[in-house]
Every structure is written in structure tokens, then in C-alpha cells.
Structure 1
Amino acid sequence: MKSETATAAPTRARQVTPGGIIAHVCVVLAAAVFAVPLVYAVFSALKPNDQIFSVPPTLIGDEVRWSNFVEVFQFGPFWTYIGNSFFVAIAGTILVVVVSSTSGYAFGRLRWRGRDVVFLLFLATLMVPQEVVVVPMFQLMQWLGWVNTPQSLILPFAFTAFGTFLLRQFMRGIPYELEEAARVDGAGAVRTFLTIIVPLSRSAMAVLTVFTFISFWNSYLWPLIVVNDYGYLGTLPIGLATFAGQFGTRWDLQMAASVISMVPTALIVILLQKHLVKGIATAGIAGR
């Protein structure tokens, strides 16, 4: 009798319902809609430049030019742009995750006077758009002598309220009994943070890692302002703009460069997909 019940439960779980079919169809349609621009970009990168805006538009040109991806690296210092973007994105992501995890622990788990007031003030910075603060930030970089330096591309965005808020909300969902048990065993705040809170917050950190890496990787306005020598510190978004010159725009090379620039962000999403889905599903659940 027990075996029949045990085998019947999985069978009922696999039953296909109309709601499930509709949900899957909607997901597939949404994925197709979002994939159309990417597919068109890939095929446009393989076209000759004079066929990018052909009328009527075509998906595949008269000639498939794989050489566009090679010519991208001959057009300018594209390897420099890629290396600078990797350095800024990786260093900035590591710094943001470290700062956000420690501040999220301080705001979410530790008890100290004025904690909620300081957190609200910190959170209020999210309402200030980047375009408003670029002028005072540039003046600060001039005062520090950091204009056209790598630290000017990383440090101004290392202390973000978004990452702190995300990890604080996740950490508040971790049972306090685990922390109390560690303190009974003699662990202090730092050891509790490193041995209990950080391992349990890996999913939320993966979400923050992906969002932060993409943000640094795609940043255009701030590098355009604070960098003077693009051949030395230019990043990929700035490099993409160099294909538009005085005598026209090489749209074929720009599309090929855009496809190349999408590869790292796609890979990091694929590699962290498991933690990303779990982190997004649980990051907004707050504890006591």
C-alpha cells in the first residue's frame, strides 16, 4: 500500500495542466521576442557595410563576412578596450560585493544606535540619478588627482546602496538561531560573518555579482567623462563609439564588436545561473 502511494505522488506531480501549458508558451514567446534583436545583431555583423540598412531589410546579406570579426581588432586598439573593461569590471565587482556584504551585515544583523536612520539616508542615494552626480564626482577626481586613472573608474561606484539593500534583505532572512549558536561557541562578529553569513548568502552575492559586472561592463557616461586617453584607459563602450567617424560609420564592424562585447556578460550569467535563480527568488524575503 505504501509503495502504491509513493509511486502515485510523482505521477500526479508530472501531470500537465492547461495553466502550465499557457505559462510555458508565454515564456517561450517572451524569450523569442527578446532574442530577435540579438539574432538580428549577429547576422548584421556578418553583412557587408552597405547592406546593413538595405530596403527591404534582410536577415542574411549577399555575402557572409566572417572577416568582420577579425577586422574589428585591426580597426583600433580593441584588445586594449577589452582588457580595460575586464579589469574595471572584475575589480569593481569584487570591491562592490565585499563592501555590500559587510555593510549589509552591519545594517541587517548587528544592533547599534541610529542603524535604521543611517540606512534610510544611505538608501535615499538611490533616488539620485547618475547624471546629477557626475559633475561633483569629476571635481572630486580632479581634487584627488585621479582623472584618467584606473581608480577613477572603479572607486566612485564601489559604495552602492543597491547592493547593500539587496544583501541586507537576504541576510535578514537567515535564522538568528545560527548566529546565536556560533556566539555560544565563542565566535565573534567577524568569524560569524565569514563562516555562517557569507556561505549562506552566496546566492544573493551571485545576483549582485552579475548585476554589478554588467553595470561596470556597459558603463559609458562616466568613462567618457573621466578618461582623457582612450588608447590607454578606454573601455569597450567607448571603443564601440570609435567606429562612428568623420567619414561615416562602419556599422558592420560596430555590430561585430557589439556581439563580441556581449559574450562575457552572457558567460557570467550562464555560469552563475543556478545561484542567480535561487538568489532572485529569495533575496526579497526579509527576516525579523
Structure 2
Amino acid sequence: MSSGKLLIIGGKEEKCRTGDILSTFVDLSRAKRGAVGILPTASKIPNEVSAAYIEVFTKLGLEELEVINVDTREKASDPSILKTVSGLAALFITGGDQKRLSDCIRNTKLHSLITEKWKAGMLIGGTSAGASIMGEDMIIYSEMKNNDEDRLLIEMGKGFGFEKNLLIDQHFSQRARFGRLISAIGENQELVGIGIDENTAILVEGDHFEVIGEHQVFVIDGKSGSLVDFVRSENGGEELTITDFKLHALTAGYYFNLSSREIMKRKEA
């Protein structure tokens, strides 16, 4: 059996009946048997966040919903939680802090179970922090360090590893994150950088993805490029000189082949 689909959302998706992204998640979930889980671990207000998704998913037609309350690594090995997750048809990972999500769940029994379920065909959706966590590597923090020169400092971390070769960034255009993603790819050229705008998503299936939603998805491919120079300042900031990196920008309906690293034409209606 092939691995399940991944719906990776750039954050701030429309939570209404006409929202393409959550409607897509619900439609894909209803095609399977079992409950849909909501994992709010990344959030500091998990109860409020869970309630918001329960409301919208119920309006969109889902009847069997389970909140997976995991706020410690001990809970990520709780037999009752593992039993609930083992029966899920789909899982939705909310936004918040991706480091918190990784710290609580990565390399636990729950992480192993979710991975096994996904490999067996379970649908997984994630927004904002829940999007970043999909890759093996992720950006967990960035800031400008100010002294005589402004330099960008980026901190990397480890995600759940569903897509080993993708480095996913979210709220991309809205928070001007191009610089931090291209810097991260400059130092990790084996990865493909995926920058996803708000209310926009990619639906990953096998070796390709489709773009859905309102805005754009940017793909940064440094495989054939070169890191020419690397400068680190005394305060820890860093800047790169790079060349021959490829940039793709996709809108709704376009596909991208992750194996050939090429845009694919829209499918005919």
C-alpha cells in the first residue's frame, strides 16, 4: 500500500464552508473509514484551537472527531492515546510552535505510530507549524541580529520526517520569508525548499504535489547551484553568496514533480 496523502497548508486557511483547503481535507477524510483526529500540541491554547476546528469540520460534514491531547512526551506514550490514534482515518495537525510539537512528539511511540499509519495510507493535514513539521528538517526560528550590519540568524530543527527531502516554510509571502528559506537551502542543498503562502496549500501524493488555495507556492531548488561564500558575524548572524539556484512559483491547479524537480501542467478539466 502506498503512503497517504499530505495536505500541507501555509497557515490562516479559510475556516468556512466555501474554503477550498479544509473542504479538500474533509472530502479526502470522508473517503476513508474511521475518525478524524485533531492534534493541537503546537498551540499554547489547544482547547480553543481544537474547538475551532471541530466547529468547521462538523459544518463541513465530519461526524466522528477525536482531539489528541498531547502536551508532554509522557502522554505521547499513553496507551489510551495510542489506541485512539491507531483507529484514525485522518489526522489534522494545527498551528502554533513547531519546536514545541517536535519536542513533545518526535521519536516517541506516538511519532512512530503516526508514521506507520501514514505509510499505510492515512491522510495527514497540517497548517503553519503543522506544515513545517512534515519534513525531516525544519526552520524553527529566525531573526535579524543588529550590530554594525544586519544579518539573518536561522535556527534549524528536526520534524516528523514524512517528506525527507522537503524543507517547508509557511506564511511565506505575508511574513517575507524568502530570505530565510533560500539561506536555509543554501546550507542544505540536498533539500527542496517549499514556501507556502497563507490560505494556500500543497496536496502531496507520491512524487508530486498540486497547489490549491488563494495565493502562491514557491519552490527553491539548489541542487545544481553553488554556495560561493559564507559569512558569519560575531553575534551569530550569517549571510550567503549563492548562484544558479532555481526558483519556481506556482498557483492553484499547477503540479510539481518532486523527482524531476519540474513544474507539471494543469490537468484538463
TM-score, normalised by the number of residues in structure 2: 0.24
| Greater relative contact order (Cα < 8 A, sep 6+) | 1
Q: Name the structure where strand makes up a greater proportion of residues.
A: 2
Higher-helix-fraction structure: 1
Structure showing greater Rg: 1
User: Could you tell me the TM-score, scaled by structure 1's length?
Assistant: 0.23
